[in-house]
Structure 1
Amino acid sequence: MHNPESIAVLDGYRESEQSWCELLVDLKRRGLNLAPNIAVGDGALGYWAAIRKVFPETREQRCWVHKTANVLNKMPKSVQPKAKGDLHEIWQAETKADANTAFDGFIEKYGAKYAAACDCLQKDRDVLLTFYDFPAEHWSHLRTTNPIESNFATIRLRHRKTKGSGTRRASRAMMFKLAQSASKQWRRLDSHEKITHVIEGRSFKDGILQDEIAA
């Protein structure tokens, strides 16, 4: 419970709903009886379709790193530095209300000239701000998929250097060992003891446990 862990490695078709379903169903078969409280990912449709099918209770959180890149790619380079700062104002806000205010400000500021960028941001509004309903100490872990992305970067680099990985079995073994090694560099979850409150279903608002406020 204290440290992030790699719990599954499976080969499949890129962004395939079926491949993701197979992985999630395998996790259930191996003992993951409680649905995850939150899943974090980019906009890959196959992943989210599978999550909704296998673990419909799981909350969704889109990765802010991916979303920021996707929004900025739809804007001129001259505008990107300022727009990036305005996006940071959203996900770095202290409360969900402040984040929504900054969100509205971004849409108002850039919507007329850069509608595609604003549409890209707006379509995932709710699931970009899910993290506010979890402990504030966990926000830095929930807003991005960078830790798992670093695992994939290690695997891709080795694959390119070896010009392939041989048989399917050899490829899976290599992926597992590389992912296992890379995951050792993940930093420990901040305030890990608060996971207990999340599992118990206790309520958080703007990162604060509501029972503590009542007391």
Structure 2
Amino acid sequence: MIQTAIDSEVEGFSERHSRHVDERARRLMVKNGSLPARDILTGAGAVVIKQGRVRDKSSDAGDRMCFTPSVLSAYLRRTDKIEELLPWPYLKGVSIDDFAEALQSLLGENAMGLSANVVVRLKEKWEEEYGTWNRRDLSDKKYVYVWADGIHAKVRLADAANKEQCMLVLMGAKADGKKELIAGNAGYRESEQSWSELLLSLKQRGLREAPKIAVGDGALGFWAALRKVFPDTAEQRCSVHKTANVLNKMPKSVQPKAKGDLHEIWQAETRADAM
């Protein structure tokens, strides 16, 4: 995402100064390779970023312009809020103005310098990548376990109708133990219809075999949808959510010990050990 934003800014800067020419009508502002790559630590892990180099060939050094992307300061090595931005395009209903607001949550006031053209390029790129991923073929997939949850992004939604929306997420584990993200759609956590649309899309994308076991919070609308779309899949409550629900009913003074006892119960090898 950061790389796409930088590339878009380079293109926009170059286009804005396309009329900056010499006496022979040759462009003075030209792209000239890339600066050395550097690692940026984000909330999603370390990513390698390469900034395109833009060169001003004006003969007068005092008139030369220098390009610095607003999304990447010269010595930036860490950005903490990128994960807060990732769900925004799919939860908000993207418009150019909305993206500018979303980028400010990540980049601060520097994001004000992003032109409309840059935002449009980012929007098109993200929509294309998400659409391709969300339509990928699943005909060769077999999931033993799936985990379902609704994740609320830490962003401010201006539309009251969207405030209850979240990202419906389905993770899966195959027989070899490898986990992967299966689907992620905007929807309502307690809505059977929202979860039905997500599960039916898996069949439409070729998933033939129902998962063996589904795990999730008891309050999800996921369960009603699962029983209709994949009726043979066994159901299991998420131990993390269940533990939190039980602890919420207890005095805070006993919660630490109770939490340890609950962990011993659900981690026990046999029912007898759990008792």
Interval containing the TM-score (normalised by the shorter chain): 0.3 to 0.5
The structure that is helix-richer by fraction is 1
Which has the larger Rg? 2
TM-score of the aligned structures, taking structure 1 as reference length:
0.44
Q: Tell me: higher relative CO, structure 1 or 2? Use CA pairs within 8 A at least 6 residues apart.
A: 1
TM-score of the aligned structures, taking structure 2 as reference length:
0.35
